[in-house]
Amino acid sequence: MVVIVIALGAIFHSPIDRQMRSWKLLPEPERLTELYFTQPNSLPKNYVPGQPQTVGFTVHNLEYRTTVYHYRIVETGQANNQSQTLASGSFTLPQNAYRQESVNIATVDLGQHVKVEVRLGDQNESIDYLLNKEGA
């Protein structure tokens, strides 16, 4: 008898589960994206305008679907709030996949103290670090 109940439960679980989800009676998994610097202890502290630097960041897709990620790396002057896009790009990740990006940038002169920010557009996620102008 117990075996029959378990077998029937297994057979009808999928249609029942699907119907309950369509009625919004079961919770949906939380969709999110992890964004972080790949080597945060190696981030530069200073900058020289025009001198190349590398920004390394990692994206982990936990959206429960294949997702296209669009990123921008933006420099913003802390005193004057001017900003400049230094790099941009996009890539596609399947569910639960990681992608490490290593992007070369050349900072511009936006003041003594600037912020470099990695932005994931559609996910409204960002990470940043601060730089001081060398020799200032």
Residue type present at position 44: P
Mean pLDDT, range 107-111, rounded to an integer = 95
pLDDT of residue 1: 60
pLDDT of residue 23: 86
pLDDT, the chain, mean: 89
Cβ contacts of 93 within 8 Å, gap of 6 or more: 59, 61, 66, 67, 69, 99
81 has pLDDT over 80: yes
Cβ contacts of 119 within 8 Å, gap of 6 or more: 71, 72, 73, 74, 125, 126
* pLDDT digits 0-9 by tens, 27-53: 777 889 999 999 999 999 999 999 999
Q: Distance between CA 129 and CA 6 in Å, rounded?
A: 55
Please tell me the pTM assigned to this model: 0.79
Domains of the chain, CATH where assigned: 1-28 (no CATH), 32-133 (2.60.40.10)
